[in-house]
Amino acid sequence: MTIVYIISAPSGSGKSTLVNEVRRLVPGLDFSVSYTTRAPRGSEQEGREYYFVSRPDFTAKIRKGEFLEYAEFDGNMYGTSRRFLREATQRAHDLVLDIDVQGAKQIRQQVTDAVSIFILPPNRQTLEWRLRNRSQDKEDVIQRRLVTARREIANFGEYDYILVNDRLEQAADELRAVVQAERLLRAGRELTEEEKRLAVMAERCRLVNMREWAQRIVDSFLDGAG
């Protein structure tokens, strides 16, 4: 049965890099490319970062029930097409969804056994540094993203797993462990020594074991709010 992995994170947390890495490391993972009404930015390509559609086309898809979830952000619509889940199921693959907190809530209501993973930056200062160094965004855009990040990370308690992306290699290993451990849990067979190691690594990332660390990160955003 197809496992749906919901992955959320504030902008600048390195989510896209981690998703690409785990897809490289773990076979049988499909990725859902979202639809959006916003214009392409920089080197973005149709069908790679997003499917770019007009607002009337997006609205028509809503009417036809084509989205698992959709939301409006910064004046633009974003949505996850149901077809990716159908196609993954047909191929006997699992599906990774890269979506925000609002979309994740909608998905969990429809796919009740979905696995949800929240990726956090180590603190506010690191996130701000990443936002400033990855693009040419104006100051007001950076500040707005920091405010949005503070609002989003306050929802970490709704997720099954918490990953802190301090060192990319470690975070990628942890994400791979979570994906593979969930598969192993559902396989219901005796684990090899390597599989047990992955299961232990994944267990350390469960919300119950990460809550205090995650709360300290949330507090760093409150302290830096000015």
- How does pLDDT run across 110-151, given as a tens digit for each residue? 899 999 999 999 999 999 999 988 766 788 888 988 999 999
Distances (CA, A) of 101 to 78, 129, 146: 12, 23, 15
Tokens 């990628």: give the residue: 172
pTM of the model: 0.92
Chain centroid to CA 153: 12
| Radius of gyration (C-alpha) of the chain in whole angstroms | 18
% of the chain surpassing 70 pLDDT: 98
CA distance linking residue 30 with residue 88, whole number of Å? 6
DSSP 39: P
What does the pLDDT read at residue 139?
Answer: 87
What distance in Å separates the CA atoms of residue 35 and residue 54, rounded to the nearest whole number?
10
Strand, coil or helix: what is 182?
A: helix
Measured CA to CA, the distance from residue 16 to residue 24 in angstroms comes to: 12
pLDDT digits (tens, 9 = 90+) for 69-92: 998 887 899 999 999 999 999 999
Does an H or E element contain 61, and which? helix 55-63
Exposed, middle or buried: residue 5 (CB in 10 Å: 0-12, 13-18, 19+)? Answer: buried
Residue 78 φ/ψ, nearest 5 degrees: -135, 140
How far apart, in whole angstroms, are the C-alpha atoms of residue 22 and residue 177?
9
Q: For residue 173, what pLDDT is reported?
A: 96
Pinpoint the alpha helices (H) of 81-206.
83-90, 101-110, 124-134, 139-153, 168-187, 193-204
Residue with tokens 């392409």: 40
Whole-number mean pLDDT of the chain? 92
Q: How far apart are CA 160 and CA 224, in angstroms?
A: 27
Q: What's the CA gap between 170 and 22, in Å, rounded?
A: 12
Domain 4-31+95-223 sits in which CATH superfamily? Answer: P-loop containing nucleotide triphosphate hydrolases (3.40.50.300)
